[in-house]
Amino acid sequence: MSNPEPSVMQKIVSLSKRRGFIFQSSEIYGGMNGCWDYGPLGVELKRNVKEAWWADMVSRHDDIGVLPGAQSSFEMTGLDCSIIMHPQVWRCSGHHDLFHDMMVDCKESKKRYRHDQLRGRWAEYRDKKVFVTAMADPEEEDEAFTARAQKFFGLRAKDRDQIKWDGSACSLETIDELELVLGPDAKDAGTLTEPREFNLMFKTQMGALHNDDSMAYLRPETAQGIFVNFKNVVDSSRVKIPFGIAQVGKSFRNEITPRNFTFRVREFEQMEVEFFCHPDTSQDWYSYWRDRRMNWYLNHGLSSENLILREHHSDELSHYSTGTADIEYAFPFLPEGEYGELEGIAHRGDFDLRSHMEGKLDPNSKPLEVQLGENGKPLWKGSGKDLSYRDPVSNEKFIPHVIEPSAGADRAALAFLCEAYTEDNAPDDKGEMQSRVVLKFHPRLAPMKAAVLPLVKKDGMPEKAQEIYRELKRKFPVFYDVKGAVGRRYRRMDEAGTPFCVTVDGETLSDETVTLRERDSMVQTRLKVDEAMQAIQEAIDC
RNA sequence: GCGGGUGUAGCUUAGUGGUAAAGCCCCAGCCUUCCAAGCUGGUCAUGUGGGUUCGAUUCCCAUCACCCGCUCCA
């Protein structure tokens, strides 16, 4: 049984494990569906992604100057909030209603239905009784039930009126005898499963005693923590609109189908900005963030051939949003021409702040109004706190609009890993070309920035190399390796994505020069140790 | 959630109802003055749990994980 050539994705997964980028979670116990761990090199890669993002969005941000493409200067600040928040946060955010359904599956048709949306009616013919269901509009449902029952009982159209109907149409929720239920797309009765709770939010218990009051959720996104702290940040930090609040952290979603390595997982890390601005300027800020975020990926090495900016069509948008764009990458596990989302940039209007003020807004209302429950009161009460903003100069009071660039840290790390994976050819010691695996990471993202290698393990070279290693290590992550032929060590570093090798030879001992070998081109340059360090630092900083 | 496939060392593979094989990697030496496969030695494996059997890595069942397709994707 000879297998075909492994796919690029299989090679990346294999390399990830072999070199310590990404491991299956809990592997010694057989693994955990959709969970992955970052190994020694992977943790550096992902940290570099997050740190580059944080530096570019927050710590290095120029609060005073006007950045290219921006209409004015703006401030950026950060936040780190708890993963478990007040359950009302998720009711007002809309996650509770959207993520929380009772579902039934049909074993015959393999279709899945919302338990509360499935309606039917009891029908009887001769000795057979069945609860026929159908997916139909209320005006047409009686006709649909009749058609389903007629087919089930094997009757002709003219014999329809022989079907006896018992009671009026009702929701499946009122029916206990599932074995007598005919599914909307089934031929036989009794193919529907018991209703099962379908909850995309992770539930947990707050406190050691478990009861209904102690139920809490693990956050499904970091964004809500920013919205609920909006007033705190404004009151404590002297920021003025426009400004952004950034946060990096873990989020949890019970994805139905974890798939594709670390792309779709249940525990993941987000890098989100909520950018608050005046409603009149929000469209320009939306365009600004969309373009800036796209360029961020391009500047860190993703090829423009593999990256697209996809603007959502107007019919895809929540109507309160006036723009949403996805930054998508052509991951190797996807079919040709398909892309997977790295980041979404959404214009969210004032939906979130108002929902946390007034109560959950009905996303289908226009203009936005608080969603009411059956008793005519708000379905989910808001905080009642005033989350509007008063401009200190104009004295205008308004609820800011929000632009939300929301990125996946794991997805970004995976995209950079996939983009970096390259097979090319390099000469061996006899000058014959051999295949080479090299990870062409941007130096800023590479787990190790350089390796320090004594050319041979004698004549004082190891001692000198260790000295240089300690000097460089104060500035950035460096690896020391003395084992085996130097060519072998170069290849090992190529496979780990280390952009530079500093090689110590006989000359180093007398004149403090080394060779600096560049990973992608394999070009070597003879430099002073200080110059080599500077060259590496410049490559990282760019 | 459904259907199909796969699961043997860190990786890639071989093989068998009766002692599990190899290459690469890795480790310890030796050799080596700039791009992997010179020498010697060494570590390490049948996903998990049952069943059949004198004996199971092999056959059967279940389970877990991964891959492909469907479904889902705020």
Judge whether residue A367 has pLDDT over 90.
no
pLDDT (tens digit per residue) in A221-231: 999 999 999 99
Highest mean pLDDT: which range of A184-188, A376-380, A448-452: A448-452
How much is the pLDDT for A5? 61
pLDDT class of A109 with cuts at 50, 70, 90: low
Q: Name residue A42's amino acid.
A: G
Nearest nucleic acid nucleotide to A341, CA to C1' distance? B73
CA-closest candidate to residue A446, choices A424, A416, A426: A416
Contact criterion met (CB below 8 Å) for A496 and A469: no
- Nearest residue to nucleotide B26 when comparing alpha carbons to its C1'? A18
pLDDT higher than threshold 50 for residue A252:
yes
Q: Are A411 and A328 in contact (CB under 8 A)?
A: no
Strand B footprint nucleotides (protein C-beta < 7 Å):
1-2, 7, 10-15, 25-28, 30-38, 47-48, 64-74
Which is more confident, A478 or A96?
A478
pLDDT for A2: 35
Tokens of A304: 């423009």
Complex confidence, ipTM? 0.89
In angstroms, how far is B52 C1' from A22 CA? 40
- Of the pLDDT bands very low, low, confident and very high (cuts 50, 70, 90), residue A405 is very high
Q: What is the pTM of this model?
A: 0.87
CA distance A474 to A476: 6
Q: Give the CA-to-C1' distance from A266 to B51 in angstroms.
A: 35
* Residue at token pair 């990096």: A248
Using one digit for the tens of pLDDT, what is the confidence trace for A10-63? Answer: 889 889 988 999 999 988 888 888 899 999 999 999 999 999 999 999 999 999
Confidence of residue A396 (pLDDT cuts 50, 70, 90): very high
3-state secondary structure at position A295: helix
pLDDT in tens, A463-517: 999 999 999 999 999 999 998 889 999 999 999 999 999 999 999 999 999 999 9
Does A363 or A135 have the greater pLDDT score?
A: A363
Q: What are phi and psi of A278, to 5 degrees?
A: -70, 140
Lowest mean per-residue pLDDT among A101-115, A323-337, A416-430, A435-449: A101-115
The predicted structure's pLDDT at residue A43: 93
**Rounded average pLDDT over A182-196:** 77
Q: Can you say how many angstroms the Cα of residue A235 is from the centroid of all Cα atoms in its chain?
A: 30
Tell me, in Å, how far CA of A431 is from C1' of B38?
17
Average pLDDT over residues A448-465: 92
Using pLDDT thresholds of 50, 70 and 90, give the confidence band for residue A172: confident
The DSSP H or E segment spanning A112 is strand A112-114
Which percentage of chain A shows pLDDT scores above 90? 56
For residue A110, the model assigns a pLDDT of 65
Q: How far is the CA of A289 from the C1' of B29 (A)?
A: 59
State the Cα–Cα distance between residues A357 and A350, nearest whole angstrom: 11
